[in-house]
Every structure is written in structure tokens, then in C-alpha cells.
Chains A and B, each alone.
Chain A
């Protein structure tokens, strides 16, 4: 079976794959971190870092377009040499797989706090990993279709609940603008941790060979990133505007608390938090599904395996084991911090460096 059917993805599907990967568990805690860093002006942190990541995504897509028929696994070896290229690809695979224990653990927590309070870990995490593995073992076309459906559903529900919560919006909560005593940018760990929410566009370096028209990749990537930035910024403005920055810092799951505040007395749907939660499980699933697929794809390419599905199923017990190590909110935040560090390194060091190398290589070839 061919894991990567050639040139089958539309630009829209690519944009939604990036959105589906990026928007997951991170957004639920993003406003709290932003409020901790910049108080009432926390939304500005989300906006500025989002734009920086959009810039990083532009570099990534430029790098991908240098070799439109290949993935990062192949051209990293050409640019860095085989051993370093393989090492970088392995690191990238580990990076993708590292999301899965966190996503699994967050899903476990959300299911336990709202839907199935006493369902055991082996059942919730186990069935989630099984569902992800089943999905990730398919080819990119099928993943793109599933992702299209689920991420749109999650986003529509999320935006609906966010808009409803504007009945409690207090503009004064967003003031004063950049008050000195509310700025805690020295809080390095929290600042770095927010990068977790922006990880995802790196997949463009793996799916370019599958895009029908590679020329549309730049537009699709930037569109996706800008959508993410708008969604995140709007969500953070809403959360801080409704709760004030201090209460935002105090709540662990600001999105759920927002849904718990919304009152639709005339309508039978009183528990909007449950509706949001069920929809948001889809967003977590799409992130998990895509990271799982791309992690397995990289490994199968490195080791020249005929089918990435072998890697997918082989990794399932490892992911389950790692997810059990993340025993609580603090430990998976710690794990998220390391993922964020790597996200920053990939976005602002490794990818620009590879792009620079490819430009130099091209110039060298022209010179010859």
C-alpha cells in the first residue's frame, strides 16, 4: 500500500490539516498563560507570537517549495549530509510523537471531569490511542477528509460558545493597556509554553509532494496560520474580557469555564460546556491523528518501510505508556514546555537554517 498517494490534496485540505494539527489542547490553557505574562493585555502576546509563527511558517513553506517533489526527510539529508539529516528527521519524528501523550492525557482529564467521571485510564486513554492509531494508519487523503469534518465542527462550536459569552464581556477588563505592574515577561517558562499552541505548520515540509498544485501551498499555509492567530486572539480577548485577567489566571480550563458562564435559559441546551467539550474532543483528536500520522511517516521514510501503518501500531503501546507517566496537570504542562522549546528551535533556528542552506546550495549550483 502506498502511504502517500501523490498530489491528491487541495489547498483547502492543506490549510485545514495545518489548522487541525495546530488547534487542539493548547488553546484551552493559552489565555491563562497570556494573562500571566501580560495581564489585561495578554491578547497582544497571543497576536504577536502568532504573527511571528506565521513568519516562521512562511520560511517553512519556502523551504518546502525548494524541493516540491520531496519531503523534509529527503532534502534534510541532501542539505545536512546523510547522518545529520537522518538525525534531524529522527528528532522531528520524536517531536511529533511527543504531542501524543499530552493530547491523550488532556483528553483523559476532560473526559473524566465532565463526561465519564470514573472511567479508568486504560479505557479512556486506550480507546483514544486506538482510535488515533486506526485513523493514522490510513493514507493522507482519508485523514484530510476526516480532519476537514471534525475540525470545522469543533471550530464552529467553539466560536458559537465564545460569541455567546460576549453577554458578559466587560471592555474595562482589557485595560489598562500594557500596564507595567501587569507585565511579567520574565516568566520564561510560561512565555515559552505558549509556543505549544502554535506547533503544527511544520507538516507543510512533509505534505508538499501530496498537494495538487504546490504553488498554492504558500497561500494555504499563511491562510491557515492567520486563521489560527485570529481564532486564538479572539478567544483570548473574550476570556480576559469576560473574566478579567486575574480570574483568567485562576482557571485551569478557560474555554470550559467560559461555556459554564453562558446562559441560554430559553433553550433546552443549558449545559453548553458539555456541548463544547464533546466538540473539542474532535479538535484534540485531529491534532493527535495528524501528529501520529506524520511521526510514523517520517520513521517509515527513514527506515524505508513499505507502510507507515506498521510504525503506527508499533508506537501505540509506547504512547500509552508515556501518557501514564504524565500523572497530573503540572507534569503534562512540564512536558508541554519541552515541546514548546523544540517548537521554537524548529521554527526559528532549524528551518531558517535549512532554508539558508538550500539557497546557498542553489546559488552554488548556478555558479557552477
Chain B
């Protein structure tokens, strides 16, 4: 029988031996240059009309590192710093299989941050049909951005960014807080899934469209069970951001109450909205209360902020914001899709009342009262004209 010391030495030897075999690299590790990183995916209807209800066109954007060597987006070599490949398929998995046949590198979705779906695909197949693969693939992040494209989604992937970024970073930034546009609805795959599974609210996705040389954001696609129902305009999307308490800052133009015809640009930077169920004339209704603050930023005529216009200006700004939110509510009710989250509020805070409702039927006609109250937060640099 071996002594205790001998046994320990033997164990140590075998442990070191096992380290020799296991610490040399990852099992099945793949070098970076053996991978093709998919940065964005787009879905369009196929050109063949008879196949349009069965198959869609999947396009993927792949960066070409050699062409990026000279600087971001500038291109170190000839041609665009990315390629876009496409394939027609009935499922995403089979599309990827087809695309893989065109490449000598393994497609990798771990860096896919953009999923663009054309309006037609959202109408014909529904969003859920095309994103199912991404929900089950462990490498895909919940932070991947989703958008509905008004036009061909593939064309967005082929756009060169106007300023020095990689193409996918450019599109991604356009759909991120960095974009700074309040007309964009900010969301991602995770938020979409959460809103889709919540009762009493339907999700929206940001709209993307192709401008002359750049892409454009602004507006949102309204979805019911993943299917496209209609667009919210830029202003309606801003209204929705207010109702969802995701409004950060924006400018509004109102007529000067003291000088008819003159315009004052106000910056609104602190808005808060809340819902309340109340009774009016024996009937239930929802009261939407929006409170916030603004400051004056620009005057079209040579006069500045004046004390005695305070009350009138507050009324004018309140009315402008009220009109915009009213338009959002009207559009949601017209489309018969509660993207406002009123149903979710009722379920959470008035479950008994909610249980009596057939919300899909009642939402379009449910009375909604809107109250907007804006305060002039005086942060003034210049008083005179």
C-alpha cells in the first residue's frame, strides 16, 4: 500500500497531467477569422408573388474587417466595409443554412444587434414568426434592437453611414438613446417580449425608412399579436413616449400669447404621466394626467420672456402637448389596439373591474379624459429681445 505522501504525489501528478490536456484552449474553439459575425438581419417578402405567403427573404450584414482597416467606415481597402447576403426561406434556421453555403466561415449570431422586418413581412407572417429563432438561440442578446421598415429592409442594410461609423453601429445608434430623437420609440427584443406577454398592452416597434442618402427614424409600427396594424406618426410616437413615461426632452412651437403671429419655441424636459380610473355621470372613465415643465428657447420676434405672459404661455404649451397626446389616443382607439397600457393599468390596480371587461371590444370606445398641466420653469439666459 502506498504511503500518504506517495499517494498525494500521484494525485498531484494526475491533476497536472489533466491540466496539460484541458488548459490548452477551449473545446471546439474557433478562431476569429474562422467566424462570420452577423451584425444585422433583415426580412423582406420575396419578389416571386406566388411564394410571398410561404417564404421570406432573409438578408444578413457581415462586416469585412480588411476594408475597415483605414478607419471607421472610411474603408481601408476597396469597396464597402460590409457585405449583405440574402436567401429565401420558410424558416430562419433554413435561411441561415442556405446562407452558410455561400460562406467559408461559420455564421455567428452572438453579435447580432439589429433585426429589421419590413412592414409587408410583419403583415403577412407577423413578427413572432420571424423572431422565434432568435428567442431560442442562446447567443442572441435580449438587447438586440428590433424595427419595422417602411420599405425594403434589405435596402437599409446596404446604406453607407453618412458619418464615420460602421454601418451596423450607425443603424443601431439611430435606434438607441444616442440618436436623441424623441420621435423614435426606443425598444429592444427583451422589452418587446415583455410587452407582448403583458396583458392589457400591445407593443409597438420603431419605424425605419430609407431617405435619399441616409436612413430615417421616427414613427412606430402598431402590432397586434405580432401583426402590423398601422403606423403612429412622428408626433403620435412622441405622445406615446409621454404616456409611457419615456419622454426625455423635446421642443414644441407655440404661438406667443401676447404677440399673435409670433412663435415661441419651448423646451419640455420633465414630463410625467399617470392613469386614474374614475366615474363621470355614473360611467367609468380613464383620466390621463400629464404634468411637466418647460423653458423658453427661441422667439421669432425681438422680445423675450415676460412675467405677465406666464399663465397664458403655460396654457398654450399645455394645449399643444394635449393635442399631440390626444392624437395618439385617438389613433390607438382607431386601430383598436391598446398600445397606451390602459388595460395593463386597469388589470394591475382595478382587477375586479378588469375582470368584467372585454377589453379588446371596449377599448376603442372607452372614455379617456386627458388633463395636461405644464409649468414654466424659468431657466433664462436672456430677458430682452
Contact = CB atoms under 8 A, between A and B. Distances in A.
Interface of A: 1, 113-120, 123, 127, 130, 134, 168, 170, 172-173, 175-176, 179, 181, 242-244, 246-247, 250, 257, 260-261, 263, 271
A59 B347 CA distance: 42
Contact of B197 (A116, A176, A247): A247
Nearest to B198: A244
Given A113-B138, A172-B345, A176-B347, A123 B27 contact: yes
Interface residues of B, number: 26
Given A113-B138, A119-B27, A247-B197, A127 B22 contact: yes
Contacts of B26: 115-116
Q: For chain A, what secondary structure do more than half of its interface residues adopt (helix, strand, loop), or is it mixed?
A: helix
A246 B143 contact: no
B318 to A, nearest CB: 26
B292 interface: no
A244 B197 contact: yes
B28 interface: yes
B142 A257 contact: yes
Contacts of A242: 194
A179 B347 CA distance: 9
B197 A263 contact: no
B283 interface: no
Given A114-B138, A116-B28, A263 B194 contact: no
Contacts of B138: 113-114
A176 B141 contact: no
A137 B118 CA distance: 60
Contacts of B11: 134
Contacts of B190: 168, 257, 260-261
B194 A244 contact: yes
Contact of B348 (A130, A172, A263): A172
A176 B351 contact: yes
Nearest to A172: B348
B137 to A, nearest CB: 10
Given A168-B190, A175-B349, A244-B197, A181 B142 contact: no
A175 B142 contact: no
Given A120-B27, A172-B348, A261-B142, 10 more contacts: A118-B27, A168-B191, A168-B194, A175-B348, A179-B351, A244-B194, A244-B198, A247-B193, A247-B198, A260-B141
A118 B197 contact: no
17 contacts: A1-B4, A116-B26, A119-B28, A120-B27, A127-B18, A127-B22, A134-B15, A168-B190, A173-B198, A175-B347, A175-B348, A244-B197, A246-B199, A247-B198, A257-B142, A257-B190, A261-B190
Given A113-B138, A172-B344, A263-B143, A181 B355 contact: yes
A123 B142 CA distance: 30
Contacts of A179: 351
Nearest to B349: A175
Nearest to A258: B142
